[in-house]
């Protein structure tokens, strides 16, 4: 302890400095807790995601309503909100329409200062100052902390505003203070899995997340798929490319990460030149960026990579019998002559029998061209600078689960048996369940990407594919990925993917309490925040389960899911007053938001108000601060007793 206190004394050199810090920290403990925002299953929908960050999940609009409901019209409040969300773009529009721009600047700067005061009121002046954009920090600090009844400073305040305008710095100031407002609206961000796939802008989302001030990420199965691809797992790579081509989203690979798809495109076009590949047409029906000819090329790419995927996956399943995925070995069950698939004595008609690269004597063997293509793709994934930068970020900020302020966050499920007990899963010879299982999977994921090259590492890389679609993977949560069946069979029963028992059990409060206890959380205060399985709101399904213990926040952020769910996802916030769950309607577009002030329409479906307002002392950060105070008091005592000498 002496060594630690001696080290601490280098920062706090005497009784005065220690006392000041203790007073400061004890005061911070009594501030209201900051607002947390929970989002899940973004699936590349970057415009909607960025808009939610810009509007603070409705917090900024709410503050404007509180301040100006009786002083501004609805259109004026809407314009002010849009200016904060998109300051540069909105300024360009406003300056074209305003005759007296100086007067508009003056009124707007005053309004923005009032909004800034409102969103920053729960934080220390020091924290707000640190968040201020450099260059305007001193000015903003002076403006927002000027006391309303300070008559002596009225002229001073007025002159600052006048000078900002006269020096042509109003635009820059508006942009800076708008960024501060957005920064203070959300104290901490939780991404509960699945940044990747389906939508067009996962790289844009991750770039934005990398600039966010405070966040954590829980890996989803689509994230682990890309992490596996970056580690060189061929089965993960083929799945990534197949999904990108299926959802008309190869730009993520080519433009986002510089991965060359041309050799695959040439191979697919030549191999399937007489095949319309109807079942492989891209799923993005809204897309207008491709001609019909280009869509057919995309379909051919999708079919070509799908066949390569089934072959590569077959090799992994044979290599690892412990995966118990023999039911996914389907290529050797194909009877091309009769156009059927035979499984356990049952015959199913194939809707497509054109398999030019399939060797019926050795159906899982890649052709020479396929081998060359997969090797080139693997090399591109492993050496993509931007992809590796993003994957490193996912590892740095991400985990398979997170305990945060009494809430348990994870994307998929905790594998369970029908009787409500945790199911044991065998991984690398170990049989694990519950928290221990998730901890071990996270450890393997790190080794797969960062570990030294050896035989063990290859097994760990192979497991990244199992985590994506394995029958007992907590990230996947189903008994199979019926990809082959969806493409080649019409039988609906064969396309069915059965969910883990977890998904039927989570309606039971006792089961949710059991999970919370497994992860060392208080069952009285704790909640489980879950993503992964879209809530079918249009069919009456509720995201709130087990009397509020479980909240599922995947409501269809991705446009591909919205016809199924009927909505565009959920946003959950947790502030000092409690939890608020909002159901979102689809986001129209960034342009409409800027030009017409169209915001995401939301409906509040849960408002869990707590009796006593939560303070910083009630949070995980508060516990750390209390430990710091304890240590500082030890240091204070050491100074007073002469064990350590004060420094001047």
pLDDT (0 to 100) of residue 289: 55
150 and 9 housed in the same domain: no
Instruction: Render pLDDT for 207-227 as a digit per residue (tens, 0 to 9).
Output: 999 999 999 999 999 999 999
pLDDT (0 to 100) of residue 231: 97
| Range from 80-89, 167-176, 246-255, 527-536 carrying the lowest mean pLDDT | 527-536
Q: What percentage of the chain has pLDDT greater than the value 70?
A: 97
pLDDT (0 to 100) of residue 288: 47
Contact 490, 482 (CB under 8 A): no
- CA angle 152/132/394 to nearest 5° reads 160
Average pLDDT over residues 37-44: 94
The last residue of a domain, from among 340, 366, 386:
386
- Computed over every residue of the chain, the mean pLDDT equals 91
Contact 377, 383 (CB under 8 A): no
Model confidence at 276: pLDDT above 70: yes
147 and 65 housed in the same domain: yes
Model confidence at 523: pLDDT above 70: yes
Decide if 610 is inside a domain: yes
Contact 479, 498 (CB under 8 A): yes
Decide if 432 is inside a domain: no
260 and 372 housed in the same domain: yes
Provide the Cα torsion 281, 287, 288, 292; round to 10°: 0
Q: What percentage of the chain has pLDDT greater than the value 90?
A: 74
Instruction: Render pLDDT for 128-171 as a digit per residue (tens, 0 to 9).
Output: 999 998 888 888 888 888 765 566 667 888 888 899 999 999 99
Decide if 394 is inside a domain: no
**Phi, then psi, of 539 in degrees rounded to 5:** -95, 10
239 and 377 housed in the same domain: yes
259 and 148 housed in the same domain: no
Average pLDDT over residues 605-630: 89
Question: In this structure, how many other beta carbons lie within 10 angstroms of the beta carbon of residue 274?
Answer: 7
Decide if 379 is inside a domain: yes
pLDDT (0 to 100) of residue 142: 86
The last residue of a domain, from among 358, 386, 414:
386
Model confidence at 244: pLDDT above 70: yes
177 and 250 housed in the same domain: no
Domain range holding 148? 36-192+531-614
Rounded Cα distance, 648 and 642, in Å: 15
128 and 254 housed in the same domain: no
Average pLDDT over residues 84-104: 91
Contact 18, 636 (CB under 8 A): yes
| Range from 154-168, 187-201, 289-303 carrying the lowest mean pLDDT | 289-303
Decide if 448 is inside a domain: no
| Range from 37-41, 120-124, 152-156, 327-331 carrying the lowest mean pLDDT | 152-156
pLDDT (0 to 100) of residue 291: 58
pLDDT (0 to 100) of residue 263: 95
Average pLDDT over residues 558-573: 80
- Alpha helix locations (H) across 259-407? 262-271, 292-319, 368-383, 385-397
| Range from 77-91, 182-196, 390-404, 596-610 carrying the lowest mean pLDDT | 596-610
Decide if 86 is inside a domain: yes
The last residue of a domain, from among 368, 386, 404:
386
Number of structural domains in the chain: 3
Mode of pairing for the β-strands spanning 334-335 and 340-343: antiparallel
254 and 335 housed in the same domain: yes
18 and 80 housed in the same domain: no
């Amino acid at each position: 302890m002496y060594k630690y206190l001696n080290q601490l004394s280098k920062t706090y050199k005497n009784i005065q400095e220690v006392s000041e810090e203790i007073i400061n920290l004890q005061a911070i403990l009594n501030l209201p807790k900051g607002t947390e925002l929970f989002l899940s299953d973004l699936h590349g929908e970057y415009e909607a995601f960025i808009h939610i960050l810009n509007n603070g999940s409705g917090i900024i609009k709410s503050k404007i309503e509180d301040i100006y409901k009786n002083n501004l019209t609805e259109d004026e409040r809407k314009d002010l909100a849009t200016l904060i969300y998109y300051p540069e773009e909105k300024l360009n529009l406003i300056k074209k329409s305003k005759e007296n721009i100086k007067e508009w600047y003056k009124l707007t700067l005053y309004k923005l200062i009032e909004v800034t005061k409102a969103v920053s009121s729960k934080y220390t002046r020091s924290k707000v100052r640190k968040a201020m954009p450099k260059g305007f920090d001193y000015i903003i600090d002076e403006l927002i902390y000027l006391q309303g009844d300070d008559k002596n400073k009225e002229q001073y305040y007025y002159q600052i505003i006048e000078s900002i305008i006269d020096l042509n710095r109003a635009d820059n100031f508006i942009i800076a203070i708008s960024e501060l407002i957005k920064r203070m609206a959300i104290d901490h961000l939780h991404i509960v899995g699945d940044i990747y796939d389906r939508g067009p802008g996962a790289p844009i989302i991750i770039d934005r997340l990398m600039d966010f001030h405070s966040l954590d990420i829980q890996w989803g199965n689509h994230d682990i798929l890309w992490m596996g691809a970056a580690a060189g797992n061929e089965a993960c790579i083929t799945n990534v490319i197949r999904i990108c081509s299926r959802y008309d989203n190869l730009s993520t690979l080519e433009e986002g990460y510089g991965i060359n798809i041309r050799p695959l495109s040439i191979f697919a076009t030549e191999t399937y030149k007489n095949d319309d590949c109807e079942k492989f047409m891209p799923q993005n029906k809204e897309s207008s960026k491709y001609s019909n000819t280009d869509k057919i090329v995309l379909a051919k790419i999708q079919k070509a990579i799908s066949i390569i995927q089934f072959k590569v996956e077959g090799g992994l399943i044979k290599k690892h019998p412990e995966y118990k995925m023999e039911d996914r070995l389907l290529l050797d069950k194909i009877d091309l002559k009769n156009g059927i698939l035979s499984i356990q004595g049952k015959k199913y008609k194939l809707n497509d029998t054109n398999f030019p690269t399939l060797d019926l004597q050795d159906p899982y063997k890649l052709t020479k061209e396929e081998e060359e293509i997969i090797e080139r793709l693997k090399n591109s994934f492993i050496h993509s600078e931007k992809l590796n930068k993003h994957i490193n970020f996912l590892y740095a900020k991400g985990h398979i689960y997170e305990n945060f302020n009494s809430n348990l966050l994870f994307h998929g499920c905790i594998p369970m048996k029908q009787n409500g007990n945790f199911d044991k899963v065998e991984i690398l010879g170990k049989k694990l369940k519950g928290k221990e299982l998730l901890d071990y999977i996270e450890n393997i994921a790190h080794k797969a990407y960062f570990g030294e090259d050896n035989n063990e590492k290859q097994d760990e890389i192979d497991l990244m594919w199992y985590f994506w679609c394995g029958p007992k993977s907590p990230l996947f949560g189903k008994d199979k990925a019926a990809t082959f069946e969806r493409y080649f069979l019409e039988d609906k029963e064969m396309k069915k993917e059965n969910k883990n028992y977890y998904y039927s059990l989570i309606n039971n409060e006792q089961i949710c309490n059991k999970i919370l206890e497994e992860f060392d959380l208080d069952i009285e205060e704790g909640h489980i925040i879950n993503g992964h399985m879209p809530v079918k709101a249009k069919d009456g399904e509720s995201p709130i389960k087990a009397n509020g213990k479980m909240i599922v926040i995947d409501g269809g952020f991705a446009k591909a899911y919205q016809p199924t769910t009927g909505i565009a996802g959920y946003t959950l916030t947790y502030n000092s007053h409690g939890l608020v769950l909002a159901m979102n309607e689809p986001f129209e577009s960034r342009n409409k938001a800027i030009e017409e002030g169209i915001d995401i329409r939301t409906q509040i479906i849960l408002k869990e108000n707590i009796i006593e307002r939560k303070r910083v002392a009630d949070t995980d950060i508060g516990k750390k601060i209390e430990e710091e105070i304890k240590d500082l008091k030890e240091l204070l005592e050491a100074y007073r007793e002469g064990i350590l000498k004060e420094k001047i």
